[in-house]
Chains A and B, each alone.
Chain A
Amino acid sequence: MSTILLIEQILNGLQFGVMLFLMAAGLTLIFGVMGLINLAHGSLFMIGAFVAAAGAAATGSFVLGLIAALMAAALFGALIELTVIRRLYARDHLDQVLATFALILIFSEATRWVFGSFPLYLDTPEFLSGTVTLPGGILYSKYRLAIILIGLAVAAGLFLLISKTRVGMRIRAGENDREMIGALGVDISILYTMVFALGAALAGLSGALVGAIQSVEVGMGEPVLILAFVVIVIGGIGSIKGALAGAVLVGLTDTLGRSLLPLLFALFMDPSAATSVGSALASMLIYILMAGVLLFKPTGLFGSA
């Protein structure tokens, strides 16, 4: 494998990782602060993609579609927090899993009811279409590069929000002791709604960005949700830093595994069998990674006990 191809694959892994981070950040924040397992996070990803597609089709502008997607996902996030989720904080995780799983079914069928059974169309915006030549003669998709930059900017913003602002301080405090910050006069229910809406907006952003290069269809959120859970388990539950590290690690492992393992097996097997065995192993790789990390750090890379 040439150096150029390797660098391109590393960029691909980074882009995949950054996209996973946007999903995992909201999931880990909601779990960390509120102790809630939200299986419906993937539905918010789907809502982001559908609203972006519908918005872009209606206005002719990708950027307007993106803004609409962010707002819709945040709005739906706040709405389900107010109507459903807040009844679940005191319940155990099993009840939360059951209720948020029901939300997945409701959102999927509602989306089908509104948009129909057929996939929607969302294309990359004109100014981000095609490729750009990076130093060293690497041809790379402008759009994927933009996803990497947006993701890194969001990561930096989130980090500043949590570590430097008053809201961030309250979020961190809420993570540690929710009764105490309530006693100190912070309105916990508003804080929780805000955190939930923020997490939802991140999922919606991720869905809208990815919708332009993927199929926008009902059920698109579930595979990503599973990966996002793997990411937060690897990174340590409740940690934004962990989510970023875990996401990049999963992105790189998956992408490089898919491209390198079949080549590795081809060294000592016939090509057809090597693709088959290599691909099978590549699809297991991130779970092997997760098991490996948990073996040495049971609470994840940045998790606290």
Chain B
Amino acid sequence: MTEPAAALPIPPEIAPERTLNAAQWGMASFLVSEVAFFSTLIVAYVTFLGRDVVGPLPAEALSLKLAFGTTLCLVASSIFIHFAEGALRRGNNASFKLLWAATIALGVAFLVGTAYEWHDLIFEKQLTISRNLFGTTYYTLVGFHGLHVTVGVIAMSIILLLAARGAITKEHETGVQLVSWYWHFVDVVWIVVFLVVYVGAKGGSV
């Protein structure tokens, strides 16, 4: 390349672009694929709703009260993780760790609640995945959601361990932010599941 001579046209200045960074685009697109995945499971659940002739049916099997409790855990955890993120951004590592640990605890509480619910469903109400269509679709949908919660809890615990050793600071803001996006997503999916499966069971005639 040669130096442009004075007579040659001078290209305009390049303005910096302000959009998401690559990591954020990556997480956002991953979550889009997750939306497609869970939508499919929900479609399957709804498709078979009310088609069973053998019980137990949703209205007999599910406890709205318990589900409401676990839902509260997840919603609260979303609020905690939001503030945890803010604390890290402000460089307040101590309150980051505290809020982050609270998020994990609420996630674990959700899982414990689900485990309790499943124990009851399987051993008291005799609902298994092969029992009827409700069992088939319910365990698949709620099970995959639970799997996502578990993955989130593991990821957050790793970050907490690192933070306890002082390895998480303001520079890791993006990474922490992406985990929190994931966690919010898991929550939103749960709210849809709660409405469709649990509230739907009590509200409709199914």
Bound pair (A, B): no
A residues sitting closer than 8 Å to B (CB atoms) are none
B residues sitting closer than 8 Å to A (CB atoms) are none
